[in-house]
Structures are given as C-alpha cells and as structure tokens.
Amino acid sequence: MEAFLVSTGIVALAEMGDKTQLLSLVLAARFRKPWPIVWGILVATLVNHALAGAVGSWVTSWLGPEVLRWVLGLSFIAMALWMLIPDKLDEGDSDPAPRMGVFMTTVVAFFLAEMGDKTQIATVMLAAQYQAWAWVVAGTTLGMMLANAPVVWFGDAITRRVPIRMVHAVSALVFASLGVLALLGWG
C-alpha cells in the first residue's frame, strides 16, 4: 500500500504545472468535451506508466542492490532539481477539428507528451524502488488523474489560484528526501 500512496502523492505533485497538465488545459479549451479528454488521459497514462513500471521492475533485476540504491538516490535528487524547472507546452499549429476524434487525439497527444517526462521517469524509479509494479502504476495513474482531470473541468480558474512555484518546491523537497533516504539505505 505504501508504494501506491507514495506513487500517487509524488506524481500528483510532480504533475502540477507539467506540460501534460498544460496539455489538459489546451485540450479542454479547444474541444470543450471533458469526458473523452479525461478517458483519453486515463488510457494514455495507463499504457505509458505500465511500460515505465515494467522498465523499472526490469532494472531491479539487472542492477545489484547496492548499485540500484545509488542510482535511485541520485535519480530522485536529480528529479528534485528538475522539479524546479517549470515546463512549457510547445505551441504549434493544429487542426481545430481532430481527425481521430477527441478521445484518440487525447490518447496520442498524452502518450507522446509523457515520453521522457518527469512523471514517466518517476514511475520507472518508483517501480524500481518498491518492486511493486501494479501498485506503482495504479498510484502514478491516480496521481496523473488527480492532477489533470480537474484541469479539464475547471481549467483556468484552478491554474490562477494554485501557486505552481510553491507546488514545484514541495515536489522538489519530496524527491530530494526520497533521494537522501535511498542513499542512506532506506526502503
């Protein structure tokens, strides 16, 4: 259960102000169809994080416990530093009417946006740390949904009231703490 709760909390915090959260806002503003967008986010996240979790589980069998501890510790600390750099959504020309429909457009856009993203890398690290693939994937997916679904429905009003810089600082502190604990041999 710890893997699930930690994964949910870390990803929900890490997702605040992330490019995929900005993508949620853009999709909601453009298409104004919240349900297909939310379902698309869920499907894309499940697939992406399931693959990332599998990589994290594989890494644990490939690296020895001592090397894994150092890799995880330093990775969490690097993630803490990365959290302090705000994401910006790349703006490009796009068709106002999606060819694949709102759901598939969201699935494809989210899956691609998550590639190499903080939350995907966090999923790999958490799966390696806890060696509980299903719990980590469930937790990181819930964290993504907690951060992105409200943006789809409430969009602009939320982003104006949430101090993104403070959320990033708290996220960085959590990642740094996990990194130090991993280096000290916890977990």
**Helix, strand, or coil (residue 56):** helix
* Mean pLDDT of all residues in 5-19: 88
Is 93 domain-assigned? no
Look at residues 177, 83, 67 and name the one whose alpha carbon lies nearest to residue 128: 67
Is 115 domain-assigned? yes
Q: Is the pLDDT of residue 110 over 50?
A: yes
For residues 46 and 62, which has the higher predicted lDDT (pLDDT)?
46
* Predicted structure pTM score: 0.71
Is 95 domain-assigned? no
- Cβ atoms of 41 and 23 closer than 8 Å: no
Q: For the chain, what percent of residues have pLDDT higher than 70?
A: 83
pLDDT recorded at residue 70? 84
17-26, 35-44, 155-164 — which is least confidently predicted?
A: 155-164
pLDDT recorded at residue 54? 92
Who's near 116: CB < 8 A, 6+ residues apart? none
- Cβ atoms of 127 and 49 closer than 8 Å: no
Per-residue pLDDT band at 21 (split at 50, 70, 90): confident
Is 32 domain-assigned? yes
Per-residue pLDDT band at 162 (split at 50, 70, 90): low
Is 94 domain-assigned? no
Taking each helix axis from N to C terminus, what angle separates 101-114 and 34-62, rounded to the nearest 10 degrees?
A: 30
Is 155 domain-assigned? yes
Is 172 domain-assigned? yes
Mean of the per-residue pLDDT values for the chain?
Answer: 82
Distance CA 107, CA 47 (A): 10
Is 51 domain-assigned? yes
* Mean pLDDT of all residues in 55-60: 83
Range of the domain at 167: 2-88+100-183
* Mean pLDDT of all residues in 75-104: 67
Q: Which residue type occupies 144?
A: M
As for how many domains the chain has, the answer is 1
Q: Is the pLDDT of residue 129 over 70?
A: yes
pLDDT recorded at residue 160? 61
